[in-house]
Structure 1
Amino acid sequence: MITLRNLKKIKHTFIFLLILFGFSTSVNAQTFDKLKEIFTFYPNKKAVERDSTIYKQKFIVAPVFSYSPETNFSFGTGAKYLFKFNGSGEETRVSNMPMSIQYTLNNQFFVYSGFEVFTNQEKWVIEGNLLFQNYPRLYYGIGKDTPDSAEEQYDYNQFLLEPIFLKRMFHRYLFVGAGFRLNHIYNTDFEADGLIDRNRPDGFNGSTSVGAEVAMLFDSRSNILNAQDGWYFEFTHGEYFKALGGTHKFNLTRFDLRHYLDVSKKNNDILAFHVVGQFSRGNLPFSEYAFFGSSEIMRGYQEGRFVERDLLATQVEYRKNFKNSRWGMVGFVGTGDVYNDVKSFQFKTLKPNYGLGARFMIDKSENLNLRLDWGFGKNTNNFYFTIAESF
């Protein structure tokens, strides 16, 4: 139920985000490009001056700010390294190595990098995640129907490392490989005699997951940062053992499927589709459960509002671009749910989400957008303000 107090909070947050969004995009294009150049460095500039066929690498460092219901407003420094290895031409897509260090008004901090690196002629792809954070999270219990009244705070530190090495095989855009994943949860803090303390799910007071993963990637997108065409499909399956130093034995399977259609050659409007799944078996620690809702999928639901072993979710987004302008708009709709076992899937229990958003292109050469979204779910809605598309 949305109360009058919540409506006022929503109104004030929305107005503030609109002012922030408007301020950040109010300068004219020429001034904006000059401002961007202040924070942009070119490591191989002299080499490019000698040989124009070499890709001009970019290292962008700038203050960043964002908003999501999980973090409130966050502030910090972001860096993005866009490059190609020497000897790579047009057949090799731009590698992306971002890094973000931020502190939030919810007294959280996090250091994060989600990288995707293409070697020469895309013979190999190296991708993965690096995360270190102190993350207070709201907890409502485990299950698809937990009540809002069960809310309590659960604090912990997390270190996550997941590198995956994939070799191109059989097809131009198909890569197969393996890697490992380490997920360490420690320094947990929760309410004495509260819901977590009473239920005590496995790993509630800390856990370490260490496992070997096999992976497959099909990626035919021409642009990694803001795809306008092609397919993306990533599949990973990990086996986690105590023998490797972990605290629990289980397996974890995940997939991420995306497709992009250019439906308007005049304005480059895009219709984007997205389906994700996570399935687990064995003695699963709480940190490896599927957390429903995020700034990327099921926008409108706070991350972790519903928690269970398995998850299925999908969304469709229409991205409207205005000709000869940096501005754009999006509309999205989706659905999904969490399950103790995905075999219990039922259409009638699916949770809806929908919303709209505004876009402002901050880097035309890389097609990189500033994003403001307003997402709605069942009896809930939230705002998201950040850089880059949700998927």
Structure 2
Amino acid sequence: MKKYLIILLLFFEGFGLAFSQTDSTEVTKEKNVDKLFDLGDQVVELISGEKWAFIPAVVYSPETSLGLGVRAIRVFRFKGEGKDVLRPSTLPITLLHTFNNQTVFTTELDLWASENRDYFNGRLELSNFPFRYFGIGNEIPTDEGESYSTRYAYIHLNYERNIIRGLYIGPRYEFRIDDIYDRVPNGILEGGQPLGFDGQRISGLGFGIRLDNRDNIFQPSKGWFNRIGWMSFQSFLGSEFTFNQYTIDLRKYLKTFEHQSFALQSWWSFTTGNAPFQHLSLTGGSDRMRGYFEGKFRDRHAMVQQVEYRFSVYRNLGLVVFGHGGQVATELGDFRLKRMKYGAGVGFRYRLNEEGLNIRLDIAFGDQRAFYFGLNEVI
């Protein structure tokens, strides 16, 4: 992803050049900007191969700090089915080490086949991951959190079949094992001893129903993406903890003007049974409520409402303005408007290919100012 950072630097430099030229003609300014965008496009084309792109990886978020590594990514269509019929599939493989001393290996296959009637998603993640624990609840005992470290392996397998236009159903399997090897002595994690404080093993089966009629999977401007999911973790599947988790993810995309659109999301998570603290419903992070540390607020139930306004600026460059609010609760009746936590921000986008795959740089304000640098849209 080093190429993404180069492109962003070129973009910022380009704006400086465009608006500092002493030449008074707009034509000269436009030519200068065009040259820089042409150079950015050439960098993307140079590093991207016909099938695979092998690139340095650069990520940034409050949870990881700066992360450096290598990534291979392939965007393809299964068995050569028609471009106008089949959605693109992706296979990224990433090895990353962060300035927070976190090491992560991930690979995730997102596969469309049979003229979009079959969908498969599988993810493998192996990590050595120092992280932070803040406690449980919408009001937490520490605003700074305390450190702990875990080595974990995670896998999920998800298959869905299209039964009628836009409606998919199918099973899901999840497995995760954690070895927590470093805790603060007598801290809030060791002292409070929430379920999973000394490690965990979970294994569960579930089912999902999804309505998906987006016009583009990377950069939708109209349509719906709605998913209802249920996961059950049981001892007969090899799980040390017995619990159920239900999620509702509702998204609507509205095109307003040419190259401008709204994206709206209403996300809910409900947990019953004896769930380890790692699998309680939580908010924060790069996907839900940017500007809040991921997992800073966690409890049995959580909800997040998000909205983005996206618009094109020039060629492959776009801007996003976003806002969100959310909370966690022990009981459903505890959800209150006055308990909502809010945030907002602005983001830059650079389109990498004709499919609409973007790199993004977001600046968010919640209970902290935070920066996020990565791939794909949030909603």
Give the shorter-chain TM-score range.
0.7 to 0.9
Residues 218/380 of structure 1: CA separation in 2 closer, same or farther (3 Å cut): same
Name the CA distance, whole Å, in 1 between partners of 2:6 and 2:89. Answer: 33
Given the alignment of the two structures, is residue 33 of structure 1 paired with residue 27 of structure 2, yes or no?
Answer: no
Please say if residues 131 and 161 of structure 1, whose CA atoms lie closer than 8 Å, have aligned partners that are also in contact.
Answer: yes
Please say if residues 185 and 287 of structure 1, whose CA atoms lie closer than 8 Å, have aligned partners that are also in contact.
Answer: no
Question: Residue in 2 aligned with 1:167?
Answer: 161
Name the CA distance, whole Å, in 2 between partners of 1:347 and 1:383. Answer: 27
Aligned length: 354
Please say if residues 311 and 336 of structure 1, whose CA atoms lie closer than 8 Å, have aligned partners that are also in contact.
Answer: yes
Pick one of 87, 92, 97 that aligns with 2:86.
92
Question: Residue in 1 aligned with 2:365?
Answer: 376
Unmatched runs of 5 consecutive residues or more in structure 1: 1-16, 43-57
SS at match of 1:86: helix
Give CA deviations for 1:217-246 in whole Å, capped at 9, x if unaligned: 221122222222221112221111111111
SS at match of 2:293: coil
Pick one of 200, 203, 208 that aligns with 1:207.
200
Please say if residues 319 and 348 of structure 2, whose CA atoms lie closer than 8 Å, have aligned partners that are also in contact.
Answer: yes
Question: Residue in 1 aligned with 2:22?
Answer: none
Name the CA distance, whole Å, in 2 between partners of 1:248 and 1:338. Answer: 21
Q: Residue 25 of structure 1: CA displacement?
A: 6.7
Name the CA distance, whole Å, in 2 between partners of 1:68 and 1:199. Answer: 28
Residues 87/67 of structure 1: CA separation in 2 closer, same or farther (3 Å cut): closer
Unmatched runs of 5 consecutive residues or more in structure 2: 14-34
Name the CA distance, whole Å, in 1 between partners of 2:326 and 2:85. Answer: 37
Please say if residues 87 and 120 of structure 1, whose CA atoms lie closer than 8 Å, have aligned partners that are also in contact.
Answer: no
Name the CA distance, whole Å, in 1 between partners of 2:177 and 2:371. Answer: 30
SS at match of 1:296: coil
Question: Residue in 2 aligned with 1:12?
Answer: none
Please say if residues 148 and 180 of structure 2, whose CA atoms lie closer than 8 Å, have aligned partners that are also in contact.
Answer: no
Q: Residue 343 of structure 1: CA displacement?
A: 2.9
Name the CA distance, whole Å, in 1 between partners of 2:294 and 2:7. Answer: 23
Name the CA distance, whole Å, in 2 between partners of 1:191 and 1:281. Answer: 28
Name the CA distance, whole Å, in 1 between partners of 2:85 and 2:46. Answer: 30
Q: Residue 119 of structure 1: CA displacement?
A: 0.8
Give CA deviations for 1:128-185 in whole Å, capped at 9, x if unaligned: 432221221111111110144562101111211111111111x221111102110211
Question: Residue in 2 aligned with 1:49?
Answer: none
Query: Which segment drifts farther, 350-359 or 144-153?
Result: 144-153
Equivalent residues in 2 for 1:1-391, closer than 5 Å: 21-23=8-10, 28-42=36-50, 58-86=51-79, 88-89=81-82, 90-149=84-143, 151-169=145-163, 171-265=164-258, 268-323=259-314, 325-361=315-351, 363-377=352-366, 379-391=367-379
Give CA deviations for 1:245-301 in whole Å, capped at 9, x if unaligned: 110111111222211111112xx1111111212111111111211232011220100
Name the CA distance, whole Å, in 1 between partners of 2:222 and 2:295. Answer: 31
Give CA deviations for 1:335-365 in whole Å, capped at 9, x if unaligned: 000111233211111111111122222x241
Please say if residues 162 and 179 of structure 1, whose CA atoms lie closer than 8 Å, have aligned partners that are also in contact.
Answer: yes
Name the CA distance, whole Å, in 2 between partners of 1:163 and 1:18. Answer: 32
Name the CA distance, whole Å, in 1 between partners of 2:112 and 2:308. Answer: 27
Question: What amino acid maps onto 1:318 in structure 2?
Answer: Y
Give CA deviations for 1:16-48 in whole Å, capped at 9, x if unaligned: x99993247757233333322333232xxxxxx
Residues 234/98 of structure 1: CA separation in 2 closer, same or farther (3 Å cut): farther
Q: Residue 115 of structure 1: CA displacement?
A: 3.5
Give CA deviations for 1:106-130 in whole Å, capped at 9, x if unaligned: 0001122344211121221112432
CA RMSD of aligned residues (A): 2.1
Question: What amino acid maps onto 1:122 in structure 2?
Answer: N
Identity of aligned residues (%): 29
Question: What amino acid maps onto 2:64 in structure 1?
Answer: T
Question: What amino acid maps onto 2:187 in structure 1?
Answer: G
Name the CA distance, whole Å, in 1 between partners of 2:9 and 2:144. Answer: 37
Name the CA distance, whole Å, in 2 between partners of 1:73 and 1:344. Answer: 37
SS at match of 1:322: strand
Question: What amino acid maps onto 1:35 in structure 2?
Answer: V
Name the CA distance, whole Å, in 2 between partners of 1:155 and 1:291. Answer: 19
Runs of 4+ more than 6 Å apart: 17-20
Name the CA distance, whole Å, in 1 between partners of 2:167 and 2:108. Answer: 20
Please say if residues 10 and 40 of structure 2, whose CA atoms lie closer than 8 Å, have aligned partners that are also in contact.
Answer: no
Residues 165/224 of structure 1: CA separation in 2 closer, same or farther (3 Å cut): same
TM-score, with length taken from structure 1: 0.85
Residues 337/91 of structure 1: CA separation in 2 closer, same or farther (3 Å cut): same
